[in-house]
């Protein structure tokens, strides 16, 4: 580690106690991950498929709710604004949020679409089948207006907004642009975790966008294998995207290569601080949450990146979509 990065790391370590109870609005698709586990002892006589004898069944919050959980675990106050169905999945999702002490006051019910629910049938570590309940269609215009109305009415309750895009219909180009324009008037930052299936200009004028390298290549429509890009080509890619969307900052997350951040005329590569990698599921959720928390708490972009990298390093050492807290980050930084 170079000396300037080491000094920044020391600064971040010393400022962990200044991470404040940031109030962050999270807008995006929500859903439930349902797991059905059991053993397989025979093949079905009806078809050549395994018969799973169910031993356990449990539910986890998924999609944008995991961002809200990350904000909560880091000491912030998430406000979750999204759309659920008038179904059992919607009721289960609200119950899980309440158990996690995350408000359900800003969830809008749409009787015409199901709550996204993914059922994973597992036998040991073997994934037998996944069943998805969802409709990937844009929201009706009246629901988009409801979302904007909620933001206008309750703008005094949040300090920044995360647009968490899973391309399942809650966010659209028009809605993203409306939210970003509104927040600019309110002088509140907008952080976007993009989806490669959404148009690049959906994220125009956001404060910060955080694609991973694969998403960045797809958003820029480069016909290249992300794994083949050199550092200089990643820098070129980032500059091209940042120029098109006119964002203040941009960060490309690069897995084991860490992050590359773009600020004004500066391009800085920040290494990963992960010691062990068991599961990268949800690491992007942790990164966007940690970045938003740090920037709202007054960290510089480079300091926020170091904080987010350590947070991601803690999470990928756990199995499944996980969260981390400030004490875990403090311990990880102290031992690095």
Q: How many other β-carbons are positioned within 10 Å of the β-carbon of residue 201?
A: 14
Position 125 scores a pLDDT of: 80
Question: C-alpha distances in angstroms, 109 versus 114, 147, 194?
Answer: 10, 11, 24
| pLDDT score of 274 | 57
Q: Which position has the token pair 């940031």?
A: 22
Burial of 98 from C-beta contacts in 10 A (0-12 / 13-18 / 19+): exposed
Q: How confident is the model at residue 118, as a pLDDT?
A: 93
Q: Which residues pair with 54 in a beta bridge?
A: 38
User: Rounded to the nearest 5 degrees, what angle is found at the Cα of 8, between the Cα atoms of 5 and 9?
Assistant: 85
Residue 326: Cβ-neighbour burial (10 angstroms; 0-12, 13-18, 19+): middle
pLDDT recorded at residue 20: 82
Q: Residue 319: its pLDDT value, please?
A: 56
Is 285 tagged catalytic? yes
**Which helix or strand (DSSP H or E) is residue 107 part of?**
strand 107-110
pLDDT for 256: 81
Residue labelled with tokens 């941009």: 250
Q: Residues 18-44, buried b or exposed e (16+ Cβ, 10 A)?
A: ebeebbbbbbbbbbbbbebbbeeeeee
**Which pLDDT does position 278 carry in this prediction?**
42
Tokens of 85: 């169905």
Active-site choice (29, 110, 193, 285) = 285
- The dihedrals phi and psi of 34, each to the nearest 5 degrees, come to -110, 130
CB atoms within 10 A of CB 86: 14
pTM higher than 0.85: yes
Report how far residue 313's alpha carbon sits from residue 305's, in angstroms, rounded to the nearest whole number.
12
pLDDT recorded at residue 279: 39
Distance CA 191, CA 299 (A): 15
Residue 283 DSSP one-character state: H
pLDDT of 314? 87
Check residue 2 and give its pLDDT: 55
CATH number of 3-335: 3.40.1190.20
Distance CA 5, CA 145 (A): 45
Quote the CA–CA distance of 103 and 77 in Å, as a whole number: 9
What is the residue-level pLDDT of the chain in tens, covering all 336 positions? 555 557 778 888 888 888 888 999 999 999 999 999 999 999 999 999 999 999 999 998 999 999 999 999 999 999 999 999 999 999 999 999 999 999 999 999 999 999 999 999 999 888 899 999 999 999 999 999 999 999 999 999 999 999 999 999 999 999 999 999 999 999 999 999 999 999 999 999 999 999 999 999 999 999 999 999 999 999 999 999 999 999 999 999 998 888 999 998 899 998 876 555 543 556 789 999 999 999 999 999 999 999 998 898 888 776 555 788 888 988 888 877
Q: How far apart are the first and last CA of the chain?
A: 11
**22: CB partners within 8 A, 6+ apart:** 71, 76, 77, 159, 160, 292, 293, 296, 297
CA–CA gap between residue 164 and residue 28 (Å, rounded) = 5
Any idea what DSSP says for residue 246? T
């Amino acid at each position: 580690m170079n000396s300037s990065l080491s000094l920044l790391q020391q600064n971040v370590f010393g400022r962990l106690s200044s991470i404040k109870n940031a109030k962050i609005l999270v807008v995006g698709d929500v859903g439930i991950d349902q797991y059905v586990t059991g053993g397989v002892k025979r093949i079905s006589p009806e078809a050549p498929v395994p018969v799973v004898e169910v031993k356990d069944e449990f539910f986890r919050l998924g999609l944008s709710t995991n961002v809200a959980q990350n904000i909560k675990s880091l000491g912030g106050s998430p406000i979750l604004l999204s759309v659920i169905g008038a179904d059992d999945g919607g009721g289960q999702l609200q119950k899980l949020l309440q158990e996690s002490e995350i408000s359900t006051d800003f969830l809008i019910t749409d009787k015409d679409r199901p709550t996204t629910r993914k059922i994973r049938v597992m036998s040991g570590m073997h994934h037998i089948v996944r069943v998805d309940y969802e409709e990937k269609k844009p929201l009706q215009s009246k629901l988009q207006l409801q979302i904007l109305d909620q933001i206008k009415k309750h703008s005094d309750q949040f300090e920044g907004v995360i647009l968490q895009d899973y391309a399942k219909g809650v966010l659209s180009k028009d809605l993203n642009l409306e939210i970003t324009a509104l927040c600019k008037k309110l002088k509140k930052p907008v952080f976007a975790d993009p989806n490669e299936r959404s148009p690049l200009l959906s994220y125009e004028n956001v404060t910060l966008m955080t694609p991973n390298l694969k998403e960045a290549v797809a958003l820029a429509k480069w016909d290249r294998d992300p794994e083949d890009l050199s550092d200089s080509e990643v820098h070129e890619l980032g500059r091209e995207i940042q120029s098109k969307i006119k964002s203040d900052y941009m960060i490309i997350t690069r897995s084991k290569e860490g992050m590359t951040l773009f600020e004004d005329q500066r391009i800085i590569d920040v290494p990963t601080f992960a010691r062990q990698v068991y599961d990268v599921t949800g690491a992007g959720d942790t990164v966007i949450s940690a970045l938003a928390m740090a920037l709202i708490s007054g960290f510089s972009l480079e300091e926020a990146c170091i904080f987010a990298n350590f947070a991601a390093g803690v999470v990928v050492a756990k199995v499944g979509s996980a969260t981390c807290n400030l004490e875990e980050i403090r311990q990880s930084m102290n031992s690095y």
